[in-house]
Structure 1
Amino acid sequence: MKIATTANYLLLFILIFILVITGCGQNKSLNTDPEMEKTTQKLPTESILDPVITTADTTEGKVITSDDKRVEVTIPTGWLKKSELGTSLLTATDQTRTKYLTIVAVPKTDLASNATLVDFEQANDQQMEKQLEQFKSVRSKPFQIDSRETRLMFYSGMVDQYEIIYWIAVFETENSFYQVVLNATNDLDLSTGETFREIAQSLKILDDSKISLSNGDSSNFVKTVKSEDGRIQINLPRDWRTKNVSIPGADIQAVHADGDETLSIFHEPKGNFDTDTSIYDYYDLIIDQYYNKKEVKNITITKPRQVEINGLSALQFEIHSEINKLKIANSVTLLESSEHFTQIKFWITESLFDDKIALYLKLTQSYVQHY
């Protein structure tokens, strides 16, 4: 049925959006890995977006609380709380599954120390403009959520053949930037905007000290992922996916189902380089690429260590940096065979890296070439 198809697609797009805005997505330059690369709708008027002056809570509805007891919000009667999607704190949907509410918190430790609410708001603008064809936006006057200044935006556009609209409110606390998102398909009307304002203004921060991290790894349940030509492969947990990921030039690319981790593998013939190029020369080329990217700042690179991956000589190191004020970390392994150089890179936000590095190194050890 069309509703089910649209709802499933909308869920996927929400996941991609969370991935992007929390810094772990694909196809983006603002908040993500620098290698990762429309039917016109009538926009609402400014008055539709203006904040509600009346009571913050809805007169009819029910209060739902995040699993970590960090936030609570009042949703309309008939709406349902859903399992947390990606790195979201709370997710809910209406009965038709054509409207989705998502609340996301981005730890300030994942951003540059001078990042402001305006920076976070601009991140939304740029990411949405890249995601949506026929992109349009409207910005409204600031209002308040839980006694905090809040900035309100509306976006509309097309993804493939689907019309998607967003109401997004952003505000900050001592420890995090928060994002309240209501997105919908084919439902641009006054009532949806009013519903969003009522929901957003009912949000309460119960414990801002909590920082939600990813769940433990599922590396005991692995699958083998191969390049299109079948020449290279690597094992990944089953909750990683390879569809709807676009990393230009990558021979293998994947993203964690939660949207907070990515993998890219580049397998390059030595014929692309000078005949005397060594793995250390290849390392220098990779590092130079980072330093030559204007959007990458505050780069720290650990000393490479020599390892062996299934009989291949390799160098392993970490790259920590900031891209447009987002702190990110990479686990990088460079391999050399008789005919190829290979780069294996896992990417994640800085605050999650320490919990994941052991898994990344274990998965890297599963890399195999077939020649």
Structure 2
Amino acid sequence: MRKLSKRGTSKALIILMLTVLFISGCSASNNGNNASGGDKEEKIFTSKDWQVQLTLDNGWVEDPALNEQAILAVSERKNEKYVIVNSFLKSSLADDATLDDFKVIFTNNINLSITNAEESNNKTINVASTEAELFEVTGEAQKVKVHYLVALLEKGGSFYQIITWSTQSKFEDNKQELLQAIESFKVLKETPTTPASTSPSESTDPNNKDDENTEVTTMTSDDKKAEITIPAYMTYELELSPDADIQASRMQQEEYLMVLREGKDVFADNFTLTDYYTAVTDSMSQTLSNTTITEPKEIEINGQPAVQFELNGEIDKVKISYLITLVETDGNFTQLLFWTLQNRMDEKRDMFINAAGTFKEVQ
């Protein structure tokens, strides 16, 4: 039984990518070129929430495409120069999380987002009147050779990342200006260090805002035998697991979905949905730390027996909350895994529950 339980839940363990850290997105395109000419007059760029600011020369412009992935993003595409700024509430991490822990999360995602990633030239500099970790990363993003100059810092109730980059061939020419962009960074409005009383809808996290898009889309497994209907803004943005039958995400809003089917033939003949619940929760509890699980509810999903519950825990000191629905059909046990940051679950729970309710196997 133990051997079968491990096999039956092995797929569920490959769900460790949960951050708001945007790494890739470099484009070799020259769309939106902006020549700076000889005039080096400075221009101030401020995030829409007035939280952060950058000061650059007037060759730079706000970049609408990158702004979808950041609280502030600017570029000078003609010369392959890019800057994005993001913030991450400390309350989304373990209470004892440090800037070093934040860098570990960042580095882990570099390895997921960039091929052949190599880190170098680590040093400490002063940014926004505080110490910041500065380092370089080289690799390939979307098959483009890129070179990043990154600064991570801690201020008030948030960690900040300032990611600048260029193509490898132009990095040395652009490096000084990228460094100046980082050094110009200012925090205009610090987030509170203890926002525990803040409800999700009132969160000071600028990324913690869902749009009111009510359009939906139906995603189907490769074998056309399973489908689920989810908000249309969730897409196949990144590979969460090579074993998932269906997967979707919206990274900027920290929304993730995986559908994982397990054939009943891998289990003992008397293996039940209750046994499956025990196997899944045991394995996930071993993978996460500080785990709590709500009482499972017995429900039906399109006429099939199911159990639904929430599981909270920490992975690499990131506080994660899962809505998990386990469905039994004639030939399979299926895991419907939705997850987000713990401080965002309240606003996303209904959407997760409604989407889970649309799952069905197609004959």
Common topology (TM > 0.5): yes
Runs of 4+ in structure 1 displaced over 3 angstroms? 27-32, 83-87, 129-134, 186-191
Determine the structure 2 residue equivalent to 1:366. Answer: 358
Determine the structure 2 residue equivalent to 1:206. Answer: 188
Amino acid aligned to 1:281: D
- The structure-2 alpha-carbon separation of the partners of 1:59 and 1:170, relative to structure 1 and needing over 3 Å to count, comes to farther
Determine the structure 2 residue equivalent to 1:79. Answer: 60
CA contact (8 A) 1:312 1:337 kept: yes
The TM-score with structure 1 as length reference comes to 0.80
Determine the structure 2 residue equivalent to 1:322. Answer: 314
CA RMSD, 1 decimal: 2.3
Determine the structure 2 residue equivalent to 1:354. Answer: 346
Partners of 1:312 and 1:129 in 2: CA distance: 39
Cα distance, 1:307 vs structure 2: 1.2
Determine the structure 1 residue equivalent to 2:137. Answer: 155
Determine the structure 2 residue equivalent to 1:280. Answer: 274
Partners of 1:97 and 1:339 in 2: CA distance: 56
Determine the structure 2 residue equivalent to 1:22. Answer: none
What SS is found at the alignment partner of 1:223?
Answer: strand
1:239 to 223, 233, 236: 233
What SS is found at the alignment partner of 2:88?
Answer: strand
C-alpha deviations, 1:41-85, integer Å up to 9, x for none? xxxxxxxxxxxxxxxxx9732101111111111123121112364
CA contact (8 A) 2:87 2:161 kept: yes
Determine the structure 2 residue equivalent to 1:196. Answer: 178
What SS is found at the alignment partner of 2:71?
Answer: strand
Partners of 1:202 and 1:28 in 2: CA distance: 37
Determine the structure 1 residue equivalent to 2:200. Answer: none
What SS is found at the alignment partner of 1:142?
Answer: strand
User: Which residues of structure 1 form unaligned runs of 5+?
Assistant: 1-26, 33-57
Determine the structure 2 residue equivalent to 1:185. Answer: 167
C-alpha deviations, 1:187-231, integer Å up to 9, x for none? 444342211221111111111223224333545201111111111
CA contact (8 A) 2:80 2:170 kept: no
Determine the structure 2 residue equivalent to 1:64. Answer: 45
- The structure-2 alpha-carbon separation of the partners of 1:116 and 1:230, relative to structure 1 and needing over 3 Å to count, comes to same
Partners of 1:257 and 1:319 in 2: CA distance: 20
CA contact (8 A) 2:264 2:333 kept: yes
Identity %: 27
C-alpha deviations, 1:12-65, integer Å up to 9, x for none? xxxxxxxxxxxxxxx885756xxxxxxxxxxxxxxxxxxxxxxxxx97321011
1:95 to 70, 74, 77: 77
CA contact (8 A) 1:239 1:257 kept: no
Partners of 1:86 and 1:109 in 2: CA distance: 23
The TM-score with structure 2 as length reference comes to 0.81
Determine the structure 2 residue equivalent to 1:170. Answer: 152
Partners of 2:258 and 2:125 in 1: CA distance: 41
What SS is found at the alignment partner of 1:274?
Answer: coil
- The count of corresponding residues between Structure 1 and Structure 2 is 319
Determine the structure 2 residue equivalent to 1:250. Answer: 244
Which range is displaced more, 76-85 or 164-173?
76-85
Determine the structure 2 residue equivalent to 1:264. Answer: 258
